[in-house]
Amino acid sequence: MKALYDIAAPAKLNLFLHITGRRSDGYHLMQSAFMLIDWCDTLHFELRADGAISREDLGAALPADDLIVRAARALQAASGTPLGVHVGIEKRIPAQAGMGGGSSDAASTLLALNQLWKLEFSLEQLAAIGLRLGADVPFFLGGHNAWVEGIGEKLTPVTLPKGRFLVVKPNEGLETKLIFSDPTLKRDSETAIISGFIADAFGFGRNDLQSVAQRLCPGVTHALEWLAMRGLEGRMTGSGSAVFARVLQEIDISSAPGAFQVRLCNSLDVHPLVGWASSKSLSVDGV
């Protein structure tokens, strides 16, 4: 069956990440700024009339019950549609990198299937489903770079200057829960304000998770050192293990160690699928 949609799922960078406290339920309070970049997965969607949900890995194999499949099943259940889908995934964003690849795939799946299945769910309804899949999914659904607070659910769209970044993913990955459960993690950063960040978007703050990540994963330090040797000030994104640095001139990346995934990326002003769901609330059972 002919693919009806071929769409992009972009990665993100955390320009900074501060941990400002911890709730009684164990969730950490944070402040961050998420920027979309043009390192993307590509998803191919084919309508199935039999109600089945299937996935084909066009590159590296993914877990059987990954976020793409879970997102499709969640939207199917919430809408009650009898339709199904076959999804082909060209996975390029590295896993366990702090770049939001899985959450971005889930968001693009929800947006694509909302159109493919002609559901007319609102953006708010999709975000409610997305939040149950992962804290970063509503950001990718929102379609705009954002100031992020709370446990990641409070999003304020922000306009950021364009940037070009050298992103380096060491061979090792990092599990988010290992960093957040570490007793040495700094959890008392002072609360920042948006205007302070906007005044120096690419130099503001730090990543409070980075020191723990470097202790747990030597590859993070090696990647930062490789950037420093090129005169670049690197910083980890999210919970790692990928790091990045802003690039202001042409740079040769051919000498990167073979164990690294290295890519020059441009920032995106908006998500490729912005506008694929309206922000008008609709009443649909189950959402």
**Which residue has tokens 């380096």?**
168
C-beta of residue 272 within 8 angstroms of C-beta of residue 8: yes
Q: Is 136 an annotated catalytic residue?
A: yes
Residue 287 tokens read as 């959402």
Determine which one of 91, 136, 169, 208 is catalytic.
136
Q: Report the alpha-carbon distance of residue 12 to residue 9 in Å, rounded.
A: 10
Q: Is 66 an annotated catalytic residue?
A: no
User: CB under 8 Å to 271, separation ≥6 — which residues?
Assistant: 10, 36, 140, 142, 143, 144
In three-state secondary structure terms, 15 is strand
C-beta of residue 209 within 8 angstroms of C-beta of residue 185: yes
Per-residue pLDDT at 280 exceeds 90: no
Taking only the tens place, the pLDDT of each residue in 111-154 is 999 999 999 999 999 999 999 999 899 999 999 999 999 988 89
C-beta of residue 141 within 8 angstroms of C-beta of residue 105: no
C-beta of residue 259 within 8 angstroms of C-beta of residue 241: no
Q: How far apart are the first and last CA of the chain?
A: 31
- Global pTM reads 0.93
Per-residue pLDDT at 105 exceeds 50: yes
Q: What values do phi and psi take at 192, rounded to 5? A: -100, 170
In three-state secondary structure terms, 59 is coil
In three-state secondary structure terms, 253 is coil
194-199: list long-range contacts, CB under 8 Å, 24+ apart: 194/147, 194/156, 194/158, 197/15, 197/16, 197/33, 197/147, 198/158
Per-residue pLDDT at 188 exceeds 60: yes
What rounded mean pLDDT belongs to the chain?
93
Q: How confident is the model at residue 285 (pLDDT cuts 50, 70, 90)?
A: very low
Pairing of strands 261-266, 154-157: unpaired
CATH number at residue 108: 3.30.230.10
In three-state secondary structure terms, 139 is helix
Taking only the tens place, the pLDDT of each residue in 65-88 is 899 999 999 999 999 999 999 999
Q: What values do phi and psi take at 59, rounded to 5? A: -140, -130
Q: Total domain count for the chain? A: 1
Taking only the tens place, the pLDDT of each residue in 2-59 is 547 899 999 999 999 999 999 999 889 999 999 999 999 999 999 999 999 999 999 8
The domain in which residue 42 lies consists of 1-287
